[in-house]
Amino acid sequence: MTEEKQISADEIALYDRQIRLWGMAAQTRMRSANVLLVNIGALANEIAKNIVLAGIGSLTVLDCSTVTALHLGGEFFIEGSDVGLKRAEAAVPRIQKLNPRVSIIADTSDFRELPSEYYSKFNIIVATELQLHDLIKMNEFARQSSIPFYAGGSIGLYGYVFVDLLKHKFTIEREKSNFPAKIGPESNTRSVTDVMVKKDGPKLKEVISKVESYKSLAESLKSDSLTKLRPRTQLKVSPVLPAVKAMWEYYKTSGGDAKPRSPEALARFHNLVLEACRSLGLPAGIASPEFTASFARNIGTELSPVAAILGGVLAQDILNCLGQREQPIQNWVVLDGNTSSCPIYTL
């Protein structure tokens, strides 16, 4: 973290409600945070709105693309008059209006041409709507500088979030129960490092310090953790998870941003989804041809309601990470608009 900035009296008044919720120390850490947001599509619009209103220190929007008419349907930081302008430069003035106290910076560089040193000045990196090889590379840059990394994508009715917080320390406060927390491993990824009891009026509270360990994106995609689930539980895993992996593979093998639309392409995409199921140790039966056809039709589209849900989930976890409060996501979230579900999977 960068040096924490003092919160002024007017900021205390402005953020009074959330300071009461998560405390002054957490708000101060947020106020000192420099966040990088790569690409400013529909999902990133929601993320930017939520974290800027919460009072982070600065937000850099890195996007070299130009606004087209296709962007106007799902993005609320650009307007028809912006067509032909750089998307970052068009969006930043409207993001700034949400909270004048936050520094908002537009960077129209191509992220593929930036050196790894560029990323070292940020406290959190959020990459949206990128291909797998770009996400893996950016995740590696983040790990080199010990920076928490988020990835997300909005795919019509579907979407995903990936989280890599390296080794993340956080605290949870709860009313003291008859089964006090114990120092030591709590799960395969999480350990309790300290337990403190304090008095809160007539009640006793436990302040539990924990550390959560994460895998990189590349490592998580090689995980065999889903093979350890019971067969009945495996059948309940959302097919969106293997479909996202298949989407990246389709892009890689089709040489660009071609969408699976023809019957031959749909059949090939379905086979890639089945292949992804096998690689994750999941039964092929979780992904029907009807589902894969629906997912394929949604590739390359943005729906504002889906982006709002997914962006809210991702932004809230960013704030939890910065504030070092509450349990963070570990480490995948997928959203299925057909079933109105948003499960979390640990890979």
CATH number at residue 159: 3.40.50.720
Spell out the residues 6+ positions from residue 242 whose beta carbon is closer than 8 angstroms to its own: 273, 274, 276, 277, 279, 280, 282, 286, 287
Residue at 2 is within a domain: no
Same domain, 110 and 54: yes
In terms of pTM, does the model score above 0.85? yes
Is pLDDT above 90 for 329? yes
Would you state the structure tokens that stand for residue 236, as one six-digit string?
């309940």
60 and 162 assigned to the same domain:
yes
**pLDDT in the model for residue 256:** 66
Indicate if the pLDDT at residue 342 is higher than 90.
Answer: yes
pLDDT of residue 140: 96
How confident is the model at residue 178, as a pLDDT?
80
Is 3's pLDDT higher than 90?
no
User: Residue 278 is encoded by which pair of tokens?
Assistant: 């096998």
The tokens for 25 are 């120390």
Question: How many domains would you assign to the chain?
Answer: 3
DSSP 3-state assignment of 100? Answer: coil
- The tens digit of pLDDT for each residue in 11-25 reads 777 777 777 777 777
Question: Is 222 within a domain?
Answer: yes
Percentage of residues in the chain having pLDDT higher than 70: 97
Identify whether residues 177 and 222 lie together within a single domain: no
Whether 148 and 329 have beta carbons less than 8 Å apart is answered as no
* Pair 47, 135 in one domain: yes
Q: Is residue 1 part of a domain?
A: no
**Residue 132 and residue 13 share a domain:** yes
The residue range of the domain holding 225 is 217-298
Q: Has residue 298 got a pLDDT over 70?
A: yes
On whether both 321 and 263 belong to a single domain, the answer is: no
DSSP bridge pairs for 187: none
State the average pLDDT for the chain: 91
- 3-state SS assignment for residue 242: helix
Residue 102 has pLDDT above 90, yes or no: yes
Residues 93 and 107: their CA atoms lie apart, in Å, by: 13
Instruction: Note whether 199 and 310 are same-domain residues.
Output: no
Sign for the pseudo-dihedral over CA of 84, 87, 93, 95:
positive
- Identify the helix (H) or strand (E) that includes residue 274: helix 263-279
39, 77: one domain: yes
Residue-wise pLDDT tens digits, 196-238: 998 888 888 899 999 999 999 999 999 999 999 999 999 999 9
- Residue 6 pLDDT: 63
Looking at the structure, do residues 237 and 285 belong to the same domain, yes or no? yes
Which phi and psi (to 5°) does residue 100 adopt? Answer: -60, -15
Check whether residue 184 and residue 231 sit in a common domain: no
pLDDT at site 2: 46
Whether 193 and 210 have beta carbons less than 8 Å apart is answered as yes
Tokens of 21: 């919720």
3-class SS of residue 91: helix
Please count the residues of the chain.
Answer: 347
Q: What is the pLDDT of residue 1?
A: 41
- What is the C-alpha separation between 347 and 329, in angstroms, rounded? 11
Contacts of residue 208, defined as CB under 8 A and 6 or more positions apart, other chains included, come to: 171, 172, 173, 174, 181, 192, 194, 195
Tokens for 183, please give them: 């120092």
Q: Write the pLDDT tens digit of every residue in 126-179.
A: 999 999 999 999 999 999 999 999 999 999 999 999 999 999 999 998 888 888
Residues 340, 194, single domain; the answer is no
Tokens 């998560």, located at residue:
22
DSSP class of residue 162 equals: E
Domain check: are 41 and 189 in the same one?
Answer: no
d(CA 69, CA 133): 28
Q: pLDDT exceeding 90 applies to what percent of the chain? A: 76
In whole angstroms, give the CA distance from residue 230 to residue 17: 43
Q: In this predicted model, which residue has the larger pLDDT, 110 or 203?
A: 110
Any domain includes 3: no
Report the pLDDT averaged over residues 286-303.
94
